[in-house]
Structure 1
Amino acid sequence: MSRVVFLLLPGVHLLDLAGPAQVFFTAADSGHPYTLGYVAEQPEVASAQGLPLRASLDWPELGPEDLVVVPGWRARTLADSPVLGPASLRALREHHARGGTVAGVCSGAEALGQAGLLDGRRCTTHHEVQDELARRHPRSHLVRDVLFTADDRVVTSAGIASGIDLSLYLIATRHGPAAAAQVARSMVVYSRRNGDEPQTSVMLRHRSHLSDTVHRAQDLIDAQFDKPLRLPDLAAAVGVSERTLTRSFARVTGGLTPLRYQQTLRLERAEHLIGQGATVHAAARSVGLQDARTLRRMRARAQ
């Protein structure tokens, strides 16, 4: 069972909080082991929209598989932001030091900066305060015009609805693209994704369309991307001809065929496994490739 703990600060934006919370809540409903918790430096926190929120004063015991999310808050400038107390700053730093992931939505990146977690790492935030974040934390590497960044288990997003994109990315990397696709479809989320950011999930990049036929085909590929998939079987499963499926798929994914989509999923998952310490051979076998040589060729073509 993994915990997702939200650190609530005064003036918290409800969508910064509710978007990611809904993603992990929906993932739990789909069978993934998540429990949600809320902590704050006072027992009741006033949201920016006027709804009072109650939270625990005590941090739960956290492990490497757990996630801490800091939703953004309302402030004219980051200089006007709440200053985190020593206990909160220590909790953020210690959780990351133990191998855990920390995330900041919108101005929540400022909280990670106060904890020193942006130093030497890529980050982003809402476009209105990007320049100020860069000035306040000059050792960070600000990335502009993206929905989210991920760097060494420090994840930041541009703000408001982009917290949903960030959370779907985390679901995709933890449980695979099929799990993220299931959550996205349940939430009816097919908006633009972070296409210019290399950490973004292939699944998320190519879900910004309204073709139900292609979505159903992608659901099948996402769930079985590590297995042989024949185009005739895929077309039959979604009730169209092979030609119709291929043409529709290419039209909404920028030219990808179903097979190419499957291969990009395999490559993305393999890269993630290698980044976690797996050998090229083990990563290749895990994603359904015959040998490491095939994976090396795929990686070379993608560069």
Structure 2
Amino acid sequence: MTTVGFLLVPGLHLLDLAGPAQVFSTARDLGHDYALAYVSEQAEVPTAQGLPVHADPELPALAPTDLLVVPGWRSPTLRGTGQLEQRTLDWVAAHHRAGGTVASVCSGADVLGRAGLLDGRRCTTHHALQDELARRYRRATVVRDVLYVVDGRVVTSAGIASGIDLALHLIAVRHGPAAAAQIAREMVVYARRNGDEQQSSAMLRHRGHLSDAVHRIQDLIDQRYAERLLLADLAGEGGVSERTLTRQFSRATGLTPLGYQQALRLERAEHLIGHGSTTQAAARAVGFEDARMLRRLRAR
């Protein structure tokens, strides 16, 4: 069981909290082992939108596998807002020191800064707060105009709705991109956006349709893209003929099932090559018998 703990600061923005909470709650509904916890220095926390939320005033013990998230609060400036006691900041720092991951949404990055977690790291926050964050934490590198930044076990995101993108990224890292795509679909978020990498995903670029039958076949291909998948087997899974599957799939995505699988393989191979893998090793990792097909796809 992985606990996702949300540290609630008075004046917090509801969507900063609700977006990531919905992602992990949906992950739990889909069979992933998550428990959500809400903690604060006070039992009732006022929000920027006027709806108070309840939290546990006792700071729990977190395991290294647990995730701690700090949603943002109403903050035209960071200075003088988001006040927390030193014991709470020490608790945040101790979780990271013990091997845990700490994440923030919007102005929540300021809590990470006060806990000493931004020193020597890349980070981001809401565009209106980037200059101030850079001034307050001069040993940090504030990355502008991105949705989220991952630096080791410190993950920071931009404003408000970007917390959903951050949470889906963490799901993809822990459980694979197919799990993130399934959760995005359940939440009717058809385009999971990447952080400071390419703003397009081969998988989700072709998910903006409403055909449940095609989504089910895509789910299967997403999970087994490195395997040899026969059109007849895919058609059998969909309960249609091969010709009908190809027609429906092409109408919904603009690709054949094989073309979609190759797009997934190519994107994954490009990622591996970009991180130091040889072309031959990348080709084998994504399911090609040798590098010739990968080279042809890359050349296109």
Aligning the two structures, in what range does the TM-score lie when normalised by the shorter sequence? 0.7 to 0.9
Evaluate the alpha carbon distance shift between residue 68 and residue 231 of structure 1 in structure 2; reply closer, same or farther with a 3 A threshold: same
Residues 181, 204 of structure 2: 8 Å contact kept: no
1:210 paired to 2:216: no
Q: Which runs of 5+ in 2 are unaligned?
A: none
- Rounded to whole Å, the distance in 1 between the matches of 2:266 and 2:113 is 34
Instruction: Give the SS at the match of 1:78.
Output: coil
Match of 2:263 in 1: 261
Residues 124, 142 of structure 2: 8 Å contact kept: yes
- TM-score, normalised with respect to structure 1: 0.80
- Rounded to whole Å, the distance in 2 between the matches of 1:163 and 1:78 is 19
Residues 148, 156 of structure 1: 8 Å contact kept: yes
Deviation of residue 208 (structure 1)?
A: 6.2
Superposition pairs of residues 82-161 of structure 1, within 5 angstroms:
82-161=82-161
Instruction: Give the SS at the match of 1:189.
Output: coil
Indicate which of 226, 242, 246 corresponds to 2:246: 242
Residues 225, 266 of structure 1: 8 Å contact kept: no
Please say which of residues 215-224 and 259-268 is displaced more in the overlay: 259-268
1:174 paired to 2:174: yes
Which residue identity lines up with residue 197 of structure 2 in the other structure? P
Evaluate the alpha carbon distance shift between residue 96 and residue 234 of structure 1 in structure 2; reply closer, same or farther with a 3 A threshold: same
Match of 2:187 in 1: 187
Please say which of residues 200-209 and 53-62 is displaced more in the overlay: 200-209
Cα RMSD after superposing both structures: 3.4
Which deviations, in whole Å up to 9, do the C-alpha atoms of 1:237-283 show, x marking residues without a partner? Answer: 555453663575357xxxx9313333146448969xx99xxx99xx9
Which deviations, in whole Å up to 9, do the C-alpha atoms of 1:173-201 show, x marking residues without a partner? Answer: 1011121122111111114613x623989
Evaluate the alpha carbon distance shift between residue 269 and residue 66 of structure 1 in structure 2; reply closer, same or farther with a 3 A threshold: farther
- TM-score, normalised with respect to structure 2: 0.81
Which residue identity lines up with residue 154 of structure 1 in the other structure? V
Superposition pairs of residues 33-72 of structure 1, within 5 angstroms:
33-72=33-72
Aligned residues: 286
- Rounded to whole Å, the distance in 1 between the matches of 2:284 and 2:11 is 45
Residues 11, 74 of structure 1: 8 Å contact kept: yes
Deviation of residue 223 (structure 1)?
A: 2.1
- Rounded to whole Å, the distance in 1 between the matches of 2:30 and 2:149 is 26
Evaluate the alpha carbon distance shift between residue 142 and residue 265 of structure 1 in structure 2; reply closer, same or farther with a 3 A threshold: same
Which residue identity lines up with residue 110 of structure 1 in the other structure? D
Match of 2:14 in 1: 14
Instruction: Give the SS at the match of 1:103.
Output: strand
Which residue identity lines up with residue 158 of structure 1 in the other structure? A
What is the identity percentage for the equivalent residue pairs of Structure 1 and Structure 2?
54
